[in-house]
Structure 1
Amino acid sequence: MDKSFDPSQFEGKWYAHWEQSGCFTPSGKGPAYTIMLPPPNVTGTLHMGHAFQHTLQDALIRYHRMNGYDTHWQMGTDHAGIATEMVVNRNLALAGQGESRDSLGREKFIEKVWEWKQQSGDTITRQMRRMGTSGDWTQQRFTMDEGMSEAVIETFVRLHAEGLIYRGQRLVNWDPVLQTAISDLEVVSEEENGFLWSIAYPLGDGSGALTVATTRPETLLGDTAVMVHPDDERYAHLVGKTVKLPLTGREIPIIADDYVDREFGTGVVKVTPAHDFNDYAVGQRHNLPLINILTPDARLNEAVPEKYRGLDVKTARKAVLADLTEGGLLVEEKPHKLQVPRGDRTGQVIEPYLTNQWFVKMDTLAKRGLELVENGSVRFVPENWINTYRHWMENIQDWCISRQLWWGHRIPAWYDDAGNIFVGRSEAAVRAAHGLAADVALTRDSDVLETWFSSALWSHSTLGWPNEKDMAERGFEKRLPTSVLVTGFDIIFFWVARMIMMTDHFMPKEWPDAKRVPFKDVYITGLVRDKDGQKMSKSKGNILDPIDIIDGISLEALTEKRTQGLMQPQMAEKIRKATQKEFADGIPAFGTDALRFTFASLATHGRDIKFDLNRCEGYKNFCNKLWNAARFVLMHCEDFQAQGASPARSEAERWLLAELASTCAEVERQFADYRFDLASAALYEFAWNTYCDWFVEFAKPVLAGDDRAAADSMRHTLLQALEALLRLLHPITPFITEEIWHAVAPKLGLSGGSISLQAYPQAADFGTPDAAACANIEWLKAVVTALRSIRSQMGIAPGKAVPLLWRSSGAEDRARLAALDASLRFLARLDSIDRLEGEAPASATALVGELQVFIPLAGLIDLDAEKARLAKELKRIETEIGKCRGKLASDTFVANAPAAVVEQERQRLADWQAQQAALAAQLQKLA
């Protein structure tokens, strides 16, 4: 092993070895353990959320592989319809050859997309390999490959035949730039400054007017009613009458609906069913007409008065407000905070838009999907997420599945000249099924299915469904349901729920519920945020790239990456300064294992993950400590070859093996409960404290002693425990454990191509714990810890040998002092151990059970000088405590200072008081 720990020297080597030697392919032996990777976008790069979730999935796969399971981690990517079209469009524009999506036409544009996919579409999978992803790359799937396309078409055709897919006119989220419907997940609503306008709507009989408040005055051109609450006495007499819709000459009814909030504004609201989702629901209840006033690019259309036609929304708003003012109908304009929905890719305001789309009827599917979770066929971890799932399923709307794009699964529907719709697996199948002659012109629907449609089939389509030959080859019946889905809470509805519904719907009806689901468990992770709990985003300039954490990055490169593409110079400068302040020297290289251990330690069952690079630093130090401990062991075993365990192991060795067995049991429990944080904590505690700190110290005097048998026994135990520890750590830190294992395993007569194919340690591997030995060693640790604490408090140099006096009425203490004399002298740096008779001299003392220990201070420190120093320090601390108490006693300070500042002052007081108590106790010892 190299003297210094440098992960860059071996990470690439071992990943290539794993992949090329087939370590990741299913063994075909043992029970199935299967995870389906949530397919990342083919356009994407690895972000912190990916790295976090992939680490947890990989840990589960490696853990179960080592436990004898037939593991299969399904790799794959999503075709990402909108994102991919945008990337290829941008590349065409940058090429400067005058080509565009529209100039190429559908067929040639799709060819360009496939070309891009072949050349650049595997960026994220290369980065996943850097994270140690042990998936079976030989069975990688893409949501647009041939087998997946077959599954998509089969699903659509069957659902349509069952009446569960239909085409109809409904309100959807519409992006005017992309000119396509988009999902709720692609809409980002943020609070923005706007205005609330109050407008007079004259009553139809001329007896007065109703005042209506709106944030979008231009949409009044599409109003089809005004609405009041049915219990609002102010307006009860007007229900059923009409108002004259300003600027249009139309009269619209006054209706009553309990959707109205009587306390908002005047208690009267406008109803625009074609341009507001809530109004659409009202319109359906009251059978109101739907008037769409927008074109696909968000300009006003032929449904509005001629003077407004062709205007974009912003210009139309100004024109409408000017005309309302001129007509004396604008009552009030006041500033107002409002939630503005924008497309996550274009930044354009998203319009609720009335258009013909394809939908899946969700009521019966959702009822069944909820039943499968309620009856335990699918389990949520943590279990409280079932409440979110239940809420969504009980309030579900029909699912809009069509998109106005070219890249994607084209909808298998054809139209004749009369507008009749024919759905089938191909045009030939349609003609055959409906008896359509070759001279009957058919035009295929130009829309594609949204990517969530193909993703909903991911668990069963990747296993070959509906092709029976592919299903048999991929182990369909063995691997479905899969073992666990690891995903974020933000897509429980968009993906998790839809997979449950779709898999269940297409499995054989005779199968039991527990067999009809896509996965047994759904482990919901939190979202990775920055160290302050803020969402990572380009606009905040707080994004971290996992590859930069692994390899390191200079300040200049990091700053450039964070500010690249920002259109606002002020924002870029703000981010530049913040980055320079936080990362003055850039980000150092931490290596993959340190990053993975950090992720595992943060994987609590909470909603948010606060990622702090300081944690990475700590786990890099952990890797370094493990490396150095391994080098220590190997240096002392250079000419040693284990021939089997010693029949006379020391108490320290027996204690270590008991601790190792306990750690195995604890890690097994925590993996079963998806508590990666607690599993990693148990591994850290054993590796750092039990093995590297205590046991290595126990071993040093034995290895340096004259008793060859004892030394060889210690060597064997050092190697045995280290090798087992490497296997325990491997699922979380695969690279360093593989590297060290190949140096340690031969010493124990072990062989094999990879640690990843070795058996995972079990508690029973290390025999029955010796309770007496464990009690004795824990006693020794407590005494040594107490003595080291005295040294630290009194400023005694760690290497200086000191005398120890002791007093105890317990026979057990006396026996342990005699039996563990050599270990105690070595670990506590003692030059003598004597029983105290009579009064103790000036000493620092500690109590361990019934044992009282004394370190005489004469000759170690200048007692008078130390007393004076402590008294002076106590006086200073008393002054600081007085200042804190004075501030906190001030009503003005507590009432006016920010809450965080007040809390900080309270914490300062508590810290000063803790220091005061510790120094007072130290001074008492000297007295």
Structure 2
Amino acid sequence: GGGQGAEHGAAPPPNVTGSLHLGHGLTVALQDVLVRWRRMQGWEVLWLPGTDHAGIATQAVVERWLWQRRGLRRQDLSRPQFLQEVWAWKERHGEQILGQLRALGASLDWSRLSFTMDPGFSRAVTEAFVRLHRAGLIRRQQRLVSWSCALRSAVADIEVESLSLPGPTRLRVPGCPQPVTFGLLFTFAYPVEGDDGLELPVATTRPETLLGDVAVAVHPEDPRYTHLHGRFLRQPFTNRLLPIVCDRSVQPQLGTGAVKVTPGHSRLDLALALAHGLPLLSVIGEDGTVSPRGGGWLQGVQRFAAREQLLAALAELGLLRGCQDHAMALPLCSRSGDVIEQLLKEQWFLSCQGMARRAQQAVASGRLQLVPKFHEKSWRSWMENMGDWCLSRQLWWGHQIPAYWVGGGSPRGGLWVVERSEAEARARGAQLLGCPPEEVQLLQDPDVLDTWFSSSLFPFASLGWPQQTPDLQRFYPTRLLGTGSDLLFFWVARMVMLAQELTGQLPFTQVLLHSLLRDPQGRKMSKSLGNSLDPLDLIRGAPLQDLQQKLQERILDPRLLQEAKEAQRLQFPQGLPELGSDSLRLALCSHNAHGAELQLELAAALRFRRFCNKVWNCLRYVLAALQRLPRPRTHPQVLPGHPLSRWVLSRLLQAVGEVNRRLEALEVHAALAAVHHFWLRTFCDVYLEVSKGLLRDPQVADETLSTLLSCSDLGLRLLAPFSPFLAEELWQRLPKTPQDPPTICLASFPDPQSLAHWHCPEVEAQVEAMMEVVKAARGLRDTLRLGAARLPCE
């Protein structure tokens, strides 16, 4: 307690889909440095650990595991049976994650461990949904949603990645036995009803959706088609009549200037259909096959196989007019790699526009600081274009939506109530229907909430919200969030929006958005790609055989497994060396996390291992010398007389100031550089060597010992946030006083103001000049080969 203030931070909860990878290790290392630094400054710090249930990711990996190990599909089990399997998976892998965090030295408060499916957290999720619904922000509506046929679920628009194709490109699509070619524009003709020989050509990249066409639109002023205004076209496969409608949104210069209107599979077409009162028709089902409404002859055929059959049928009817290369953007599901399908679905949507405006104002006013600052531009653009958030996911693993259809029968068109429990829903249904509660029939929505909805509540739900717990009152709002820059909109923006809406406060005042670790191919490290490294393998070392075995045990797509194994063989032919936790942390923290994307180089990590050995050997020398010092440890209040002792203390003061300034700016890499430079270039390379002679001079021996002790003590305190294991071990060996805390974690962090009397700029300038002379002399000696080994002149 006490200190300069209270600070709370929450580790971004890793998914319980396996284990942490090196990208998580970077986040943990950066956060732990800042946490330990604040704690040593006297702050009361709560760093709260947690894990996320990760609905889509966890369900997908457990489904693959069940299929590969037991030959079972999810549908072969009941929902309770499948959830039992997922909970067992969580228990196996959740503990592994916590072990990795401990090995990395994360100084988390383990007594407050939180999981997003814990009973208390689940109550907070239900409470948030109910409150947002009662505020009119959550509504159930039929809209087009981004749908992954591989997952059989809706996904958030933010989880859709756009793949730019310059032209014809063959891609593997989940569920398709053969690669599918995209980047082609097909032109076919619709016959005009009642006029043999007259036709209207239409161009499309998605001929498989023509079974869902309800009209063709042209620009009203396009002279090519004015004679067709008010006419109808005959759909050759369903025999439906399609009106030709005029709409100024059509761009005549694109394609043929005539646009097929498929409102069940295109948002632009849906808007056009609603404007013209056209029917809404979906012809592709949730599993990616043609639905019964698409026509009997293709029912059950996979959508891209149906494409080929439709093109062949058009050619046979003489209606196919050609095919050309076409640059396009292909929407892909970031979770499954599937080609996204737009489907009309009744789902729960959260209106985000008002919350987004307040989130933008928080950054614009400076109440919320994004570090680095360049993220503010993306933040503003995103918030100004925020749409509604589809919360429904067609999964079994997750928080089941607290919405109940009242009255029995099918949920379609029924009466929905949103309540905290089934009992409350029954009472509300009885009130609405005017009948006794026991006569009310309830059916809870089987869908679960988007994982990001529950994760967005983490800063306050993990502290006991909605109850006003002591922890919530003491540590909320938090001060700092550290996370990867890729989560700025997936997670950070949603936390800000929901926290302000539900608690009236920002969840934090600073966000450190660090760069991402990439593999040599530039891909983000991901367990699903098999390109990630386990931090424990780097800490303990691992032969290539063990790395390959770990890949084999992962539940990966067979093609990705082979690619990952080959990449490992090329990158780590000798396996991974044993780095130790400190060396790995130092290597991770040495990167400029504010800049471009990062790659961890083993050579750099090995350099930090040598640096740790250097510090160890340095302290061995100091401890041996300190055996001559009978007095307890104190830092000199009077400057030593020898200029080099004054110089090293002045340089230590400069390092202390630089480290504190850089950590205040969240520039962890620069703070580490200052610590590294002091230990290596100032203390070890110069003063330690000089001290060997000074200790033989009785006049300066005592002050030299005192200076060695001060540099060792304060240098280890500077190093402790970055290298906690090494710093703790060596600091415990230094002489103690009764006032010293039991651990360096609670020792005071060096403060430049309390050491200001060490500032000696004149001495620093003199010593630096002397060192330049020595450097020049050594250079001349090497150039002229004046070393002792040179043969004497004859």
CA distance in 1 between counterparts of 2:483 and 2:220 reads 44
The superposition leaves residues 365-384 of structure 1 with CA deviations (integer Å, 9 ceiling, x where unpaired) of 22222222222221111122
Pair 1:431-2:426 in alignment: yes
The superposition leaves residues 456-476 of structure 1 with CA deviations (integer Å, 9 ceiling, x where unpaired) of 1111111211112xx22x1x2
Go from structure 1 to structure 2 and tell me whether the alpha carbon gap of 1:735 and 1:323 turns closer, same or farther (over 3 Å shift).
same
Residue of structure 2 in register with 1:701 after alignment: 693
Residue of structure 2 in register with 1:417 after alignment: 408
Among 135, 141, 145, the alignment partner of 2:118 is 145
After superposition, where does 1:705-720 map in structure 2 within 5 Å?
A: 705=696, 707-720=697-710
Secondary structure of 1:763's aligned partner: coil
Contact 1:200 1:331 in 2 (8 A): yes
Residue of structure 2 in register with 1:69 after alignment: 43
The superposition leaves residues 509-553 of structure 1 with CA deviations (integer Å, 9 ceiling, x where unpaired) of xxxxxxx11110111111111356454467987533322221212
Go from structure 1 to structure 2 and tell me whether the alpha carbon gap of 1:62 and 1:281 turns closer, same or farther (over 3 Å shift).
farther
Pair 1:176-2:171 in alignment: no
The superposition leaves residues 471-509 of structure 1 with CA deviations (integer Å, 9 ceiling, x where unpaired) of 22x1x233222111112222222211111111111225x
Contact 2:529 2:556 in 1 (8 A): no
After superposition, where does 1:560-599 map in structure 2 within 5 Å?
A: 560-561=549-550, 579-599=568-588
Counterpart of 1:121 in structure 2: which amino acid? G
Contact 1:42 1:80 in 2 (8 A): yes
Looking at both structures, which has the greater relative contact order when contacts are Cα pairs under 8 Å and sequence separation is at least 6?
2
Deviation, structure 1 residue 562: 5.2
Contact 2:426 2:442 in 1 (8 A): no
Contact 2:140 2:347 in 1 (8 A): yes
Quote the sequence identity (%): 40
CA distance in 2 between counterparts of 1:709 and 1:372 reads 62
Contact 1:484 1:521 in 2 (8 A): yes
Residue of structure 2 in register with 1:805 after alignment: none
CA distance in 1 between counterparts of 2:242 and 2:124 reads 48
CA distance in 2 between counterparts of 1:537 and 1:113 reads 20
The superposition leaves residues 430-477 of structure 1 with CA deviations (integer Å, 9 ceiling, x where unpaired) of 233343521222121111111111111111111211112xx22x1x23
Go from structure 1 to structure 2 and tell me whether the alpha carbon gap of 1:727 and 1:428 turns closer, same or farther (over 3 Å shift).
same
Go from structure 1 to structure 2 and tell me whether the alpha carbon gap of 1:548 and 1:862 turns closer, same or farther (over 3 Å shift).
farther
Counterpart of 1:37 in structure 2: which amino acid? A
Among 3, 11, 16, the alignment partner of 1:42 is 16
TM-score by length of 2: 0.89
Go from structure 1 to structure 2 and tell me whether the alpha carbon gap of 1:133 and 1:102 turns closer, same or farther (over 3 Å shift).
same
CA distance in 1 between counterparts of 2:155 and 2:792 reads 75
Counterpart of 1:55 in structure 2: which amino acid? A
Residue of structure 2 in register with 1:677 after alignment: 669
TM-score by length of 1: 0.77
Contact 1:538 1:562 in 2 (8 A): no
Among 474, 481, 503, the alignment partner of 1:507 is 503
After superposition, where does 1:376-387 map in structure 2 within 5 Å?
A: 376-387=366-377
Secondary structure of 1:220's aligned partner: helix
Residue of structure 2 in register with 1:908 after alignment: none
Residue of structure 2 in register with 1:686 after alignment: 678
Residue of structure 2 in register with 1:492 after alignment: 488
Deviation, structure 1 residue 564: 6.8
Counterpart of 2:720 in structure 1: which amino acid? H
CA distance in 2 between counterparts of 1:649 and 1:541 reads 60
CA distance in 1 between counterparts of 2:93 and 2:575 reads 28
Contact 2:55 2:451 in 1 (8 A): yes
CA distance in 2 between counterparts of 1:386 and 1:282 reads 35
Counterpart of 2:348 in structure 1: which amino acid? W
Residue of structure 2 in register with 1:358 after alignment: 348
Among 40, 44, 54, the alignment partner of 1:80 is 54
Residue of structure 1 in register with 2:591 after alignment: 602
Contact 2:541 2:578 in 1 (8 A): yes
Pair 1:667-2:659 in alignment: yes
After superposition, where does 1:298-309 map in structure 2 within 5 Å?
A: 298-309=288-299
Residue of structure 2 in register with 1:884 after alignment: none
After superposition, where does 1:227-238 map in structure 2 within 5 Å?
A: 227-228=217-218, 234-235=224-225, 238=228
Go from structure 1 to structure 2 and tell me whether the alpha carbon gap of 1:569 and 1:411 turns closer, same or farther (over 3 Å shift).
closer
The superposition leaves residues 759-792 of structure 1 with CA deviations (integer Å, 9 ceiling, x where unpaired) of 0001133342123322221121111111122233
Deviation, structure 1 residue 67: 0.4
After superposition, where does 1:644-659 map in structure 2 within 5 Å?
A: 644=634, 645=636, 648-659=640-651
CA distance in 2 between counterparts of 1:492 and 1:258 reads 37
Deviation, structure 1 residue 709: 4.0
Contact 1:46 1:127 in 2 (8 A): yes
Counterpart of 2:135 in structure 1: which amino acid? E
Contact 2:218 2:250 in 1 (8 A): yes
After superposition, where does 1:384-395 map in structure 2 within 5 Å?
A: 384-395=374-385
Secondary structure of 1:200's aligned partner: strand
CA distance in 2 between counterparts of 1:211 and 1:641 reads 98
Residue of structure 1 in register with 2:475 after alignment: 479
Residue of structure 2 in register with 1:914 after alignment: none
After superposition, where does 1:790-805 map in structure 2 within 5 Å?
A: 790-797=780-787, 800=788
Go from structure 1 to structure 2 and tell me whether the alpha carbon gap of 1:483 and 1:217 turns closer, same or farther (over 3 Å shift).
same
Deviation, structure 1 residue 693: 0.5
Counterpart of 1:500 in structure 2: which amino acid? V
CA distance in 1 between counterparts of 2:791 and 2:245 reads 93
Go from structure 1 to structure 2 and tell me whether the alpha carbon gap of 1:142 and 1:566 turns closer, same or farther (over 3 Å shift).
closer
Pair 1:614-2:603 in alignment: yes
Secondary structure of 1:365's aligned partner: helix
After superposition, where does 1:540-579 map in structure 2 within 5 Å?
A: 542-561=531-550, 579=568
Secondary structure of 2:382's aligned partner: helix
Moved more, 646-655 or 199-208: 199-208
Total equivalences in the alignment: 763
Counterpart of 2:459 in structure 1: which amino acid? S
Contact 2:61 2:555 in 1 (8 A): no
Go from structure 1 to structure 2 and tell me whether the alpha carbon gap of 1:541 and 1:260 turns closer, same or farther (over 3 Å shift).
farther
CA distance in 2 between counterparts of 1:616 and 1:524 reads 23
Pair 1:126-2:102 in alignment: no
Pair 1:457-2:457 in alignment: yes
Residue of structure 2 in register with 1:466 after alignment: 466
Go from structure 1 to structure 2 and tell me whether the alpha carbon gap of 1:599 and 1:571 turns closer, same or farther (over 3 Å shift).
closer
Specify every segment of 5 or more residues in structure 1 that has no aligned partner in the other structure, as ranges: 1-26, 509-515, 802-858, 864-927
Contact 1:642 1:716 in 2 (8 A): no
CA root-mean-square deviation: 2.8
Deviation, structure 1 residue 655: 0.8
CA distance in 1 between counterparts of 2:231 and 2:238 reads 18
Go from structure 1 to structure 2 and tell me whether the alpha carbon gap of 1:286 and 1:125 turns closer, same or farther (over 3 Å shift).
farther
Secondary structure of 2:348's aligned partner: strand
CA distance in 2 between counterparts of 1:309 and 1:574 reads 36
Go from structure 1 to structure 2 and tell me whether the alpha carbon gap of 1:586 and 1:321 turns closer, same or farther (over 3 Å shift).
same
Counterpart of 2:499 in structure 1: which amino acid? T
Q: Name which one, 1 or 2, has greater alpha-carbon Rg.
A: 1
Counterpart of 1:432 in structure 2: which amino acid? A
After superposition, where does 1:236-315 map in structure 2 within 5 Å?
A: 238=228, 241-255=231-245, 260=250, 262-315=252-305
Secondary structure of 1:487's aligned partner: strand
Residue of structure 2 in register with 1:326 after alignment: 316
Contact 1:642 1:749 in 2 (8 A): no
Pair 1:54-2:44 in alignment: no
Secondary structure of 1:41's aligned partner: coil
Deviation, structure 1 residue 342: 4.1
Deviation, structure 1 residue 167: 0.9
After superposition, where does 1:734-813 map in structure 2 within 5 Å?
A: 734-746=724-736, 751-768=740-757, 769-797=759-787, 800=788
Secondary structure of 2:288's aligned partner: coil
Among 604, 628, 634, the alignment partner of 2:617 is 628
The superposition leaves residues 400-423 of structure 1 with CA deviations (integer Å, 9 ceiling, x where unpaired) of 111112221111111122621111
Specify every segment of 5 or more residues in structure 2 that has no aligned partner in the other structure, as ranges: 171-180
